[in-house]
Protein backbone atom coordinates (compact mmCIF):
# COMPACT_ATOMS: atom_id res chain seq x y z
CA UNK A 1 0.00 0.00 0.00
CA UNK A 2 1.27 3.46 -0.86
CA UNK A 3 2.15 6.05 1.78
CA UNK A 4 0.02 9.13 2.41
CA UNK A 5 1.98 12.08 3.81
CA UNK A 6 -0.16 14.85 5.27
CA UNK A 7 1.98 17.98 5.50
CA UNK A 8 0.98 19.63 8.74
CA UNK A 9 3.78 22.22 8.78
CA UNK A 10 2.46 25.48 10.32
CA UNK A 11 3.29 27.54 7.21
CA UNK A 12 1.34 25.12 5.05
CA UNK A 13 -1.67 25.06 7.36
CA UNK A 14 -1.62 28.87 7.62
CA UNK A 15 -1.56 29.39 3.85
CA UNK A 16 -4.21 26.72 3.39
CA UNK A 17 -6.58 28.72 5.59
CA UNK A 18 -6.25 31.68 3.21
CA UNK A 19 -6.95 29.66 0.07
CA UNK A 20 -10.01 28.12 1.73
CA UNK A 21 -11.42 31.58 2.52
CA UNK A 22 -13.99 32.57 -0.09
CA UNK A 23 -12.95 36.23 0.25
CA UNK A 24 -9.47 35.47 -1.14
CA UNK A 25 -9.28 36.79 -4.71
CA UNK A 26 -7.61 35.13 -7.71
CA UNK A 27 -4.29 37.00 -7.50
CA UNK A 28 -3.69 36.05 -3.89
CA UNK A 29 -5.12 32.57 -4.45
CA UNK A 30 -2.63 31.95 -7.31
CA UNK A 31 0.30 33.21 -5.23
CA UNK A 32 -0.66 31.02 -2.29
CA UNK A 33 -1.11 27.92 -4.47
CA UNK A 34 2.38 28.56 -5.85
CA UNK A 35 3.86 28.94 -2.35
CA UNK A 36 2.06 25.86 -1.05
CA UNK A 37 3.28 23.84 -4.03
CA UNK A 38 6.87 24.84 -3.32
CA UNK A 39 6.53 23.82 0.33
CA UNK A 40 4.95 20.47 -0.57
CA UNK A 41 7.64 19.82 -3.19
CA UNK A 42 10.25 20.17 -0.44
CA UNK A 43 8.78 17.08 1.24
CA UNK A 44 8.13 15.18 -2.00
CA UNK A 45 11.83 15.46 -2.88
CA UNK A 46 13.08 14.48 0.58
CA UNK A 47 14.55 11.15 -0.57
CA UNK A 48 16.30 12.28 -3.74
CA UNK A 49 19.68 10.58 -3.94
CA UNK A 50 22.85 12.54 -3.19
CA UNK A 51 26.43 11.94 -4.21
CA UNK A 52 29.65 13.25 -2.75
CA UNK A 53 31.65 15.87 -4.60
CA UNK A 54 34.89 17.63 -3.81
CA UNK A 55 34.87 21.42 -4.02
CA UNK A 56 37.07 24.19 -2.74
CA UNK A 57 35.57 26.68 -0.31
CA UNK A 58 37.41 29.98 0.26
CA UNK A 59 38.97 28.22 3.27
CA UNK A 60 39.90 24.68 2.16
CA UNK A 61 39.00 21.65 0.06
CA UNK A 62 35.80 19.98 1.21
CA UNK A 63 33.79 16.89 0.41
CA UNK A 64 30.14 17.91 0.15
CA UNK A 65 26.88 16.56 -1.28
CA UNK A 66 24.96 17.32 -4.41
CA UNK A 67 21.92 15.81 -6.10
CA UNK A 68 23.10 12.79 -8.01
CA UNK A 69 21.45 13.85 -11.23
CA UNK A 70 18.10 12.08 -10.86
CA UNK A 71 15.91 13.47 -13.60
CA UNK A 72 12.54 14.84 -12.54
CA UNK A 73 9.29 15.48 -14.35
CA UNK A 74 6.32 17.53 -13.16
CA UNK A 75 3.00 16.51 -14.69
CA UNK A 76 0.13 18.93 -14.02
CA UNK A 77 -3.34 17.57 -14.70
CA UNK A 78 -5.16 20.21 -16.74
CA UNK A 79 -6.45 22.69 -15.86
CA UNK A 80 -5.98 23.42 -12.15
CA UNK A 81 -2.66 21.54 -11.94
CA UNK A 82 -1.08 24.38 -13.93
CA UNK A 83 -1.31 26.60 -10.84
CA UNK A 84 1.16 24.34 -8.99
CA UNK A 85 3.92 24.18 -11.61
CA UNK A 86 5.79 27.46 -11.02
CA UNK A 87 6.17 26.84 -7.28
CA UNK A 88 7.66 23.40 -7.91
CA UNK A 89 9.99 24.70 -10.62
CA UNK A 90 11.35 27.32 -8.22
CA UNK A 91 12.65 24.42 -6.15
CA UNK A 92 13.51 22.01 -9.00
CA UNK A 93 14.36 24.27 -11.96
CA UNK A 94 15.81 21.42 -14.04
CA UNK A 95 12.56 19.44 -13.99
CA UNK A 96 10.78 18.99 -17.30
CA UNK A 97 7.04 19.65 -17.44
CA UNK A 98 4.55 17.38 -19.18
CA UNK A 99 0.89 18.26 -19.54
CA UNK A 100 -1.95 15.76 -19.33
CA UNK A 101 -5.61 16.44 -20.00
CA UNK A 102 -7.40 13.26 -19.11
CA UNK A 103 -10.71 12.03 -17.73
CA UNK A 104 -12.13 8.66 -16.90
CA UNK A 105 -14.91 7.51 -19.21
CA UNK A 106 -17.81 6.78 -16.84
CA UNK A 107 -18.97 3.81 -18.95
CA UNK A 108 -15.76 2.04 -19.99
CA UNK A 109 -13.85 3.35 -16.93
CA UNK A 110 -10.87 3.73 -19.29
CA UNK A 111 -8.76 6.89 -19.21
CA UNK A 112 -9.55 9.16 -22.14
CA UNK A 113 -6.81 11.58 -23.04
CA UNK A 114 -7.78 14.87 -24.65
CA UNK A 115 -4.37 16.53 -24.42
CA UNK A 116 -0.93 15.16 -23.82
CA UNK A 117 2.59 16.47 -24.22
CA UNK A 118 5.22 14.67 -22.20
CA UNK A 119 9.03 14.77 -21.97
CA UNK A 120 10.32 12.09 -24.36
CA UNK A 121 12.20 10.25 -21.60
CA UNK A 122 9.51 9.86 -18.93
CA UNK A 123 10.63 6.25 -18.31
CA UNK A 124 13.89 7.61 -16.84
CA UNK A 125 12.33 10.39 -14.78
CA UNK A 126 10.92 10.57 -11.30
CA UNK A 127 7.45 11.96 -11.97
CA UNK A 128 5.33 14.17 -9.73
CA UNK A 129 1.72 14.30 -10.88
CA UNK A 130 0.03 17.44 -9.54
CA UNK A 131 -3.55 18.60 -9.12
CA UNK A 132 -4.66 20.90 -6.27
CA UNK A 133 -7.79 18.86 -5.51
CA UNK A 134 -8.11 15.08 -5.14
CA UNK A 135 -11.88 14.59 -5.10
CA UNK A 136 -13.19 11.24 -6.43
CA UNK A 137 -9.72 10.37 -7.68
CA UNK A 138 -11.04 9.76 -11.22
CA UNK A 139 -8.72 12.09 -13.10
CA UNK A 140 -5.68 11.33 -10.92
CA UNK A 141 -6.18 7.60 -11.43
CA UNK A 142 -6.64 8.09 -15.16
CA UNK A 143 -3.58 10.36 -15.51
CA UNK A 144 -1.36 7.97 -13.55
CA UNK A 145 -2.68 5.00 -15.58
CA UNK A 146 -1.90 6.92 -18.72
CA UNK A 147 1.65 7.77 -17.63
CA UNK A 148 2.26 4.12 -16.79
CA UNK A 149 1.04 3.11 -20.26
CA UNK A 150 3.62 5.54 -21.69
CA UNK A 151 6.39 3.94 -19.61
CA UNK A 152 6.34 6.08 -16.44
CA UNK A 153 7.56 3.98 -13.51
CA UNK A 154 8.46 6.17 -10.62
CA UNK A 155 5.38 8.26 -9.86
CA UNK A 156 4.26 10.38 -6.90
CA UNK A 157 1.03 12.32 -6.57
CA UNK A 158 0.88 15.74 -4.93
CA UNK A 159 -2.22 17.78 -4.13
CA UNK A 160 -3.33 20.47 -1.70
CA UNK A 161 -6.71 19.20 -0.49
CA UNK A 162 -8.05 15.66 -0.74
CA UNK A 163 -11.27 13.86 0.09
CA UNK A 164 -10.84 10.55 1.92
CA UNK A 165 -12.70 8.88 -0.99
CA UNK A 166 -10.10 10.13 -3.47
CA UNK A 167 -7.16 9.04 -1.33
CA UNK A 168 -8.66 5.54 -0.96
CA UNK A 169 -9.38 5.28 -4.69
CA UNK A 170 -5.85 6.28 -5.76
CA UNK A 171 -4.29 3.95 -3.19
CA UNK A 172 -6.47 1.08 -4.39
CA UNK A 173 -5.74 1.59 -8.11
CA UNK A 174 -2.11 2.62 -7.76
CA UNK A 175 -0.65 1.11 -4.59
CA UNK A 176 2.85 2.04 -5.78
CA UNK A 177 2.12 5.80 -5.91
CA UNK A 178 2.80 7.78 -2.72
CA UNK A 179 0.46 10.70 -2.03
CA UNK A 180 1.53 14.07 -0.58
CA UNK A 181 -1.24 16.38 0.60
CA UNK A 182 -1.71 19.45 2.82
CA UNK A 183 -5.10 18.34 4.16
CA UNK A 184 -7.40 15.34 3.95
CA UNK A 185 -10.82 16.94 4.45
CA UNK A 186 -14.09 15.44 5.68
CA UNK A 187 -15.94 14.22 2.61
CA UNK A 188 -17.30 14.90 -0.87
CA UNK A 189 -20.71 16.51 -1.14
CA UNK A 190 -23.44 15.54 -3.63
CA UNK A 191 -22.00 17.94 -6.21
CA UNK A 192 -18.54 16.36 -6.05
CA UNK A 193 -17.02 19.23 -4.04
CA UNK A 194 -14.64 18.54 -1.20
CA UNK A 195 -16.05 19.64 2.19
CA UNK A 196 -14.96 22.03 3.62
CA UNK A 197 -12.53 22.30 0.68
CA UNK A 198 -11.99 25.58 -1.13
CA UNK A 199 -14.48 25.48 -3.99
CA UNK A 200 -13.45 25.02 -7.61
CA UNK A 201 -9.67 25.39 -7.69
CA UNK A 202 -9.53 25.98 -11.47
CA UNK A 203 -12.13 28.76 -11.33
CA UNK A 204 -10.43 30.41 -8.38
CA UNK A 205 -6.99 30.23 -10.03
CA UNK A 206 -8.10 31.59 -13.38
CA UNK A 207 -11.00 33.84 -12.37
CA UNK A 208 -13.61 31.87 -14.33
CA UNK A 209 -17.03 30.90 -13.08
98 makes contact with ligand URA (CB under 6 A): no
Beta carbon of residue 185, minimum distance to ligand URA (angstroms, whole number): 9
Choice from 36, 92, 129, 135 touching ligand URA (CB under 6 A): 135
Cα Rg of the chain (Å, integer): 18
When binding is defined by CB under 6 A, the residue of 61, 193, 206, 208 that contacts ligand URA is: 193
Taking the complex as a whole, the smallest distance from the CB of residue 200 to ligand URA amounts, in Å, to 4
57, 82, 161 from 209: Cα distances, Å: 54, 17, 20
Segment contacting ligand URA (CB under 6 A): 12-20, 98-106, 115-123, 193-201?
193-201
Greatest Cα-to-Cα distance within the chain, rounded to the nearest angstrom: 67
181 binds ligand URA (CB under 6 A): no
Nearest-CA neighbor of 121 among 81, 77, 82, 154?
154
3-state helix, strand, coil in the chain (%, to 5): 35, 30, 35
Distance in angstroms (rounded) separating the CA atoms of residues 35 and 15 = 8
Binding residues for uracil: 194, 199-201
Active site residue 125: no
Residues from 47 through 86 that contact ligand URA (CB under 6 A): 80
Q: How far apart are CA 36 and CA 133, in angstroms?
A: 13
* 133 lines the binding site for ligand URA (CB under 6 A): yes
Answer yes or no whether residue 197 interacts with ligand URA by CB under 6 A.
Answer: yes
Give the containing element (helix H, strand E) for 104: strand 99-104
Pick the closer one to ligand URA by CB: 86 or 200: 200
Q: Which residues bind ligand URA (CB under 6 A)?
A: 80, 133, 135, 192-194, 197, 200-202
Amino acid sequence: MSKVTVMDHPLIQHKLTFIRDKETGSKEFRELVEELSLLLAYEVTRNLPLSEVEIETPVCKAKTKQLSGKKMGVIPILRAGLGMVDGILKLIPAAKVGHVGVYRDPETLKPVEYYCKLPSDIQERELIVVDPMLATGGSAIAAIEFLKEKGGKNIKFMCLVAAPEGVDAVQKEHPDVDIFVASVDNELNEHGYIVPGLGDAGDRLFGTK
